[in-house]
Amino acid sequence: MPELPEVEVVRNQLKKQVLNKKIIKVESFHDNIVNGNINEFISILTGNKFIDVERYGKFLVFILDDWHVLISHLRMEGKYHIRNVNEERNKHEHIIFTFEDGTTLRYHDTRKFGKMDLRTKGNYLKVMPLIQLGPEPKDMKLGELYNKIKKQNKPVKVSLLDQTIIAGLGNIYVDETLFMSKIHPTRLSSSISLEEANNITLNARKVLDKALLLGGTTIRTFSATDVHGRFQNELLVHTKKGEPCPVCGNEIIKIVVGGRGTYVCESCQK
């Protein structure tokens, strides 16, 4: 699943390739990607332009030339491709925007889990889906995470994956953050001390900053508009089942926490 660094890479690539170009055609091949009336969606986008692309957590926000914004969540395997208009459509390309210059922006999603929503510029941060988002690690004050999770009787990993608590973290970066913080992912959130919660916040910032610098993590099916990241070469525990821990040398194991495959060193993480 694309997480904050990967979505930021997508945003930066899209800003270079789709802004200020008139959309002359919008095609939908799987209407469930779009929340709301598909005919209204097509009507509003046709003849419009993307004038900016923003990001909130894992959400992309395309700012349109009128009073609308298009909010896109890639979910598990969504991605955007830039293609020439005469290139044959891939069966997993479900929404296609054709521009007046002969290029197309194609939303590709093998699982069809991704979603798009149209909202108005005046209130899109005040309504679903963005109103539910917690702060990103870089915006979270020390002590804030502790106050959010101190009464939660659930594994700390589950709390960190909750986008209403902290936005942008997913499976990869939670595993890395908890390893750097020396905290076992199954520990109850209510057992995390103020000092430990602050360490989680600081380490989340560090891991995300490095991932952003390296263009995100390219594993399995994720790439950003055909751009591949390099952070997968820096992973400490995620995907490292059976390999020696980079700190103590003991074997990294894979367990399931909250239904998610989780990588942990049970010697270092308590």
pLDDT in tens, 92-133: 999 999 999 999 999 999 999 999 999 999 999 999 999 999
Lowest mean pLDDT among 99-103, 214-218, 246-250: 214-218
pLDDT in tens, 39-93: 999 999 999 999 999 999 999 999 999 999 999 999 999 999 999 999 999 999 9
Q: What is the mean pLDDT of residues 11-30?
A: 97
pLDDT exceeds cutoff 90 at 2:
no
Residue 177: other Cβ atoms inside 10 A:
26
User: What is the pLDDT, as a whole number, of residue 227?
Assistant: 58
Whether residue 24 is contained in a domain is answered as yes
83 marked ligand binding residue: no
Whether residue 237 is contained in a domain is answered as yes
What residue type is 236 in one-letter code? L
Which of 80, 103, 132 finishes a domain? 132
pLDDT exceeds cutoff 50 at 206:
yes
Verify that 165 and 228 share a domain, yes or no: yes
pLDDT exceeds cutoff 60 at 238:
yes
Which of 132, 162, 181 finishes a domain? 132
Verify that 160 and 251 share a domain, yes or no: yes
Which of 99, 132, 165 finishes a domain? 132
Average pLDDT taken over every residue of the chain: 95
pLDDT exceeds cutoff 80 at 223:
no
Indicate the SS3 state at residue 179: helix
Question: What domain range includes position 254?
Answer: 137-264
The per-residue b/e assignment along 197-236, b for 16 or more CB within 10 angstroms, e otherwise, is bbbbbbbbbebbeebbebbbbbeeebbbbeeebebbeebb
92 marked ligand binding residue: yes
Indicate the SS3 state at residue 158: helix
CA distances in angstroms from 78 to 65, 107, 248, listed in the order given: 24, 7, 37
Q: What is the mean pLDDT of residues 136-155?
A: 98
Whether residue 48 is contained in a domain is answered as yes
Whether residue 208 is contained in a domain is answered as yes
**Angle (nearest 5°) at CA 175 between 53 and 269:** 150
Confidence of residue 218 (pLDDT cuts 50, 70, 90): low
Verify that 32 and 89 share a domain, yes or no: yes
Whether residue 22 is contained in a domain is answered as yes
CATH code of the domain containing 224: 1.10.8.50
Verify that 148 and 119 share a domain, yes or no: no
> What's the CA gap between 237 and 241, in Å, rounded?
8
Confidence of residue 226 (pLDDT cuts 50, 70, 90): low
User: What is the pLDDT, as a whole number, of residue 214?
Assistant: 87
Verify that 158 and 125 share a domain, yes or no: no
Q: What percent of the chain has pLDDT over 90?
A: 90
Backbone dihedral angles phi then psi of residue 52, each to the nearest 5 degrees: -165, 160
Whether residue 105 is contained in a domain is answered as yes
Verify that 128 and 158 share a domain, yes or no: no
Confidence of residue 222 (pLDDT cuts 50, 70, 90): very low
CATH code of the domain containing 48: 3.20.190.10
Verify that 103 and 117 share a domain, yes or no: yes
Confidence of residue 263 (pLDDT cuts 50, 70, 90): very high
Q: How many separate domains does the chain show?
A: 2
Whether residue 212 is contained in a domain is answered as yes
Confidence of residue 219 (pLDDT cuts 50, 70, 90): low
pLDDT in tens, 161-185: 999 999 999 999 999 999 999 999 9
Strand partners, 263: 254
End-to-end Cα distance, the chain:
27
Verify that 157 and 116 share a domain, yes or no: no
Residue whose C-alpha is closest to residue 78's, from 60, 100, 61, 57:
60
Catalytic residue set: 2-3, 58, 260
Is the CB of residue 49 less than 8 Å from the CB of residue 55?
Answer: no
